[in-house]
Amino acid sequence: MLETILNIRAVSKHYQSADSSLTILDNISFTIQKGSTVAITGPSGSGKTTLLGLCAGLDRATEGSVELNNVVLDKLSEDQRAAVRNQHVGFIFQNFQLLPTLTALENIMVPLELRGEKNIRPRALDLLEKVGLSARGDHYPVQLSGGEQQRISLARAFSNTPAILFADEPTGNLDGETSEKVIKLLFDLNKEAGTTLVIVTHDMDLAARADRIIRLKSGVIIADEQKTYA
């Protein structure tokens, strides 16, 4: 039996203003098994990115429970949630979020440094080679193309061997040809590492690469489709 890495139980997210309440997510429940690939899709405003933030411990649900790699996040402080993310989670963002004052190689090393690991340069160099940018290690983000920046962010995401990797519109700022290369690299690295991959995307070609597609609309799950293999 496959082990569960993410358990979302009756999760809702509301935002309260002076005279009204806005519901972004309404009573969402699902589980994700270790080693699987899952795409979360839906139109703009459906709650995709909010859901990813709750799953990853970046934000706290108004109601319900989030359990990530056997850690219940609900009552943890921000510092405690940050420690869980640092230990178990990798991120890839649409706008890359590389540190502009660090070189490509230094950006890859950041998660390892935050964990206090030693002798991290060889691992960072290995990942730099895997994403095909060995010659660009001493370049700063501003000197890299969008596709190159996203490949560096992929290397950074995998550097601390996360148990689960969250990708928020990872090809949203890339052209078609570059997107295809980044998607292939993402799934190749993920397969090699055996990481659980959760992708938020409106790109159905990208979603179709996943084992499972969870479709959101207006803050609720309207479909949960598991790919079947002959």
pLDDT band at 230 (very low <50, low <70, confident <90, very high): very low
Closest C-alpha to 55, from 164, 155, 175:
164
Which phi and psi (to 5°) does residue 212 adopt?
-150, 145
The single residue listed with the structure tokens 């409106």 is: 202
DSSP character at residue 84: H
CB-count burial class (<10 Å; 0-12, 13-18, 19+) for 5: buried
CATH of the domain at 211: 3.40.50.300
- Residue 221's domain comprises 4-226
Determine which of 73-77, 94-98, 127-131, 225-229 has the lowest per-residue pLDDT on average. Answer: 225-229
pTM exceeding the 0.85 threshold for the entire prediction: yes
DSSP string, 22-83: EEEEEEEEEEEETT-EEEEE-STTSSHHHHHHHHTTSS--SEEEEEETTEE-TT--HHHHHH
H or E stretch covering 168: strand 164-168
Instruction: Tell me what pLDDT residue 2 has.
Output: 73
* Each residue's pLDDT tens digit, 144-198: 999 999 999 999 999 888 999 999 999 888 888 888 888 899 999 899 999 999 9
Percentages helix, strand, coil for the chain (3-state, rounded to 5) are 35, 30, 35
DSSP character at residue 111: H
Query: Is the confidence at residue 229, as pLDDT, over 60?
Result: no
Query: Is the confidence at residue 133, as pLDDT, over 70?
Result: yes
Summary mean pLDDT of the chain? 91
* Each residue's pLDDT tens digit, 65-95: 999 999 999 989 999 999 899 889 999 988 8
In one-letter notation, the amino acid at residue 133 is L
DSSP character at residue 142: G
* Each residue's pLDDT tens digit, 205-221: 889 999 999 999 999 99
In the chain, how many domains are there?
Answer: 1
For residues 38 and 214, is the Cβ–Cβ distance under 8 A?
Answer: yes
Instruction: Tell me what pLDDT residue 1 has.
Output: 61
CA pair distance 170, 182, nearest whole angstrom:
8
Closest C-alpha to 24, from 57, 52, 65:
52
Instruction: Tell me what pLDDT residue 54 has.
Output: 94
Query: Is the confidence at residue 228, as pLDDT, over 70?
Result: no
